[in-house]
Amino acid sequence: MLAAENMKHPLRHASEVMKLERIGSLRLTSLSFLRIMMRHVMRENWTIACSTFDLDDEGHGHVIYDIYTAKHYFSFVVISSDISDDERSDRVIAEQWDVTFALSEGGISDEKLERLKINLPKQEAGRGEASDLVWSRANKSNRVFDYVIDCLTSGEQPDPKVLNEVGYLLRTTAVYGNGKFGISPYDKIRGDHPFNGPFQAQMFAVYMLRHFSFDLVEHIAKRQDPEAIPLDPEVKRFIGTGNATGLGMAPFLISHPRLIHQWIYIREVAIARVKDIKPSQDDLMLLVQWLNRVANYFDESRLIDRQIYAKPEKLAEQSRFLTERVLEYLELGTFAGIPANDVWEALSEMAVRTVSIEMQELLHTLLLEIYADHVMDLEQYMNVEETYQISPRMSIQELKNLINRQYQWAFQYDFNDPDEKYYFWYRSEEKEEPRLGVRHEEAGAELAMSMNIAEQVQDLYAMLKQASPEEMVAAFILRYPRYKGIIQRIQSLDGYEYGEIQANLLNKDFMPLHLLRCKLAFFGAERFNPKSNRWLRITLFQGAPLVEEIGETFPDNWVFPHLPTMEEDKHA
């Protein structure tokens, strides 16, 4: 674990950062997992080549790509299937997908290929091997997949504005690793493995799916018309990979508190570190450029507004407002008329007073882009040992002191109020996924998942007040074993102040999307497009370098891309 640094600006307190609305406003940064993975691939100049391309006229069949790193060899296998429109679903319980794929160590023998052809399309019902690092599945975008093929067969590039309505050709519904279906456990990729680090193998698999989506539409177009043209590289770069995420992701943030702490902590260290930098005029102008860039990005957004996140046009407006303030500082040395010596801190404080929480966190994203080279070293600290143990000799008084120090937030809720226990979490036996039920309206509350940490802390503390302050925790647990789990959690998170989401996850106004977006932002997601308050679609790798550009000089600042400019537009 990275020790706290000696910085002028202290880290923001967990009581500010871990509020549900704020973690639900996070965006990608230069330390997001796919950015880390992409830099690794580019820096080491990985070689990626297609060794088998066996697709029929409709694009059904299998494809194998060989991936060579400095010391390792991997294979990416795709099975493209023929399914009907009514079989296409983003739900975890779906049984058919347009595409299933695997990232595996080593080559693919004929025997292994046959096993993958049988098992990979089954996903949950299939069985992988220890040499498989990732299994996943994806569906076509109904809106743009056929449209792109029609354009290419007509000898035209797809309209970027149409592409921008979706942002991808294929959309994943889950990307599995860490032993799921019998595939490789995470411990196998620790140390000097190319995919060491949180979700590195999964992010690379998603990147390869993006590459396959280009090969797939170009292949189908060529089979329909030999004169069909390929996608323009600028258009390709603008296309990412989609993902649909629902409530299944939410329990991860509760069940991995040390890991969540580490991700948030490293982000906060990075923010505090860059705020310590005294900006040059060039730095300030670079921020102006970034603010203008994201303003244009949100102006061009075609996402559906469901009144859950800040509207894109509002973020564009607020970006331009901050641009004016930075230009004011360049001319007068003030922000909104207030002199500023500590520039980045003053700008951040002004943002807290004047713009949305989402824009405040977007400003932090942009500061980390400006000073990306100052925080790159932090990417190696994203892992943490997740050990949760009882400290049996701790006294009851010491445990109460720890609760008072780190869990004061848990006492703000009155769980006698029906609105504070409106929901309950459960795992649906039929649907095989976490769900939210309405208490007193739906059955199953007695089988609820342990998602409400605040209520557990309150219950424990009430019982601790009745115990002797000198009594040891071990004796208390022997008398009240039902409290063992929450005591172990509290003790194990001593010093991990960002490990708990400081919210009541059962409240009537609870917004599950905030949990999903928090994790997705660390992956490197953008284009958060809610379909309800319980699931959303996002885009990954939009603007990222193409496979054929690996090893070339390609700036790491490819996020928030503009619409590509077609050749006829360039000469207009």
Q: Around 307, how many Cα atoms within 13 Å sit in the side-chain half-sphere? A: 0
pLDDT at 572 over 60: no
For 470, the token pair is 């000198």
pLDDT digits (tens, 9 = 90+) for 155-184: 999 999 999 999 999 999 999 998 888 999
pLDDT attached to residue 244 = 93
Helix ranges, 177-280 (H): 200-224, 233-238, 250-255, 257-275
pLDDT attached to residue 567 = 61
pLDDT attached to residue 5 = 65
For the chain, the distance separating the N- and C-terminal CA atoms, rounded to the nearest angstrom, is: 55
For 352, the token pair is 């807290």
> Among residues of the chain, what percentage have pLDDT more than 70?
96
pLDDT attached to residue 431 = 53
> Among residues of the chain, what percentage have pLDDT more than 90?
81
Cα(51)–Cα(311) distance, integer angstroms: 45
* 498 contact partners, CB below 8 Å, separation of at least 6: 14, 17, 18, 260, 261, 264, 265, 268
pLDDT at 135 over 80: yes
* Mean pLDDT (whole number) for 30-36: 97
In this prediction, residue 257 has a pLDDT band, given cuts at 50, 70 and 90, of very high
What stretches of 332-433 adopt beta strand conformation (E)? 334-335, 338-339, 423-427
In this prediction, residue 448 has a pLDDT band, given cuts at 50, 70 and 90, of confident
Cα(392)–Cα(409) distance, integer angstroms: 25
In this prediction, residue 258 has a pLDDT band, given cuts at 50, 70 and 90, of very high
* Mean pLDDT (whole number) for 450-464: 95
pLDDT attached to residue 420 = 96
pLDDT digits (tens, 9 = 90+) for 485-526: 999 999 999 999 999 999 999 999 999 999 999 999 999 999
Nearest to 516, CA basis, from 91, 167, 25, 14: 25
pLDDT digits (tens, 9 = 90+) for 405-431: 999 999 999 999 999 999 999 887 655
What's the sign of the alpha-carbon dihedral 99, 104, 106, 108?
A: negative
For 373, the token pair is 């080279």
Computed over every residue of the chain, the mean pLDDT equals: 93
CB 355 within 8 A of CB 318: yes
For residue 222, the one-letter residue type is K
CB 24 within 8 A of CB 501: no
pLDDT attached to residue 4 = 57
For residue 394, the one-letter residue type is M
For residue 297, the one-letter residue type is Y
Better pLDDT: 191 or 33:
33
Nearest to 542, CA basis, from 235, 306, 313: 235
pLDDT attached to residue 571 = 40
pLDDT attached to residue 569 = 53
Supply the DSSP symbol for 3: P
Angle at 46 between CA 40 and CA 48, to 5 degrees: 130
pLDDT digits (tens, 9 = 90+) for 285-329: 999 999 999 999 999 987 765 678 888 999 999 999 999 999 999
* Mean pLDDT (whole number) for 253-282: 97
The phi, psi pair for 78, rounded to 5°, reads -120, 130
Cα(139)–Cα(170) distance, integer angstroms: 5
pLDDT at 56 over 50: yes
- Map residue 174 onto helix, strand or coil: strand
In this prediction, residue 92 has a pLDDT band, given cuts at 50, 70 and 90, of low
In this prediction, residue 139 has a pLDDT band, given cuts at 50, 70 and 90, of very high
pLDDT attached to residue 6 = 74
pLDDT digits (tens, 9 = 90+) for 97-116: 999 999 999 999 999 999 99
With residue 17 as reference, give the H or E element that holds it. Answer: helix 14-17
In this prediction, residue 534 has a pLDDT band, given cuts at 50, 70 and 90, of confident
pLDDT at 93 over 70: no
In this prediction, residue 127 has a pLDDT band, given cuts at 50, 70 and 90, of very high
Nearest to 59, CA basis, from 137, 144, 149: 149
CB 4 within 8 A of CB 494: no
